[in-house]
């Protein structure tokens, strides 16, 4: 299905972002938040329909998890 394809693409994207961030980002003072941490944060703040504020919007992981 279409949603399953998007999920696979999302996981591939997160994989490469994590690899790039660990290799390059730390040199620039940038860090990648692992998806497990993002999931935990989203569960803790329990977002609802409406606005989502992600003050450190890097790869947009908070937005993706909030939608799920």
Count of C-beta atoms within a 10 Å radius of residue 61: 24
pLDDT above 60 (res 58): yes
> What is the C-alpha to C-alpha distance for residues 34 and 58, in angstroms, rounded to an integer?
12
Q: What is the pLDDT of residue 50?
A: 67
Q: Which token pair is 10?
A: 């999302």
Q: Mean pLDDT across the chain, nearest whole number? A: 69
Give the 3-state secondary structure of residue 14.
helix
Structure tokens, 15? 């994989």
Mean pLDDT of 40-66: 69
23: confidence class by pLDDT, cuts 50, 70, 90 = low
Helix (H, G, I), strand (E, B) or coil at 45: helix
Question: Does position 12 have pLDDT exceeding 60, yes or no?
Answer: yes
């Amino acid at each position: 299905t279409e949603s399953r394809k998007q999920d696979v693409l999302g996981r591939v994207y997160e994989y490469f972002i994590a690899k790039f961030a660990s290799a390059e980002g730390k040199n620039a003072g940038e860090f990648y938040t692992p998806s497990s941490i993002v999931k935990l944060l989203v569960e803790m703040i329990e977002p609802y329909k409406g606005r989502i504020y992600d003050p450190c919007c890097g790869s947009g992981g908070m937005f993706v998890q909030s939608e799920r």
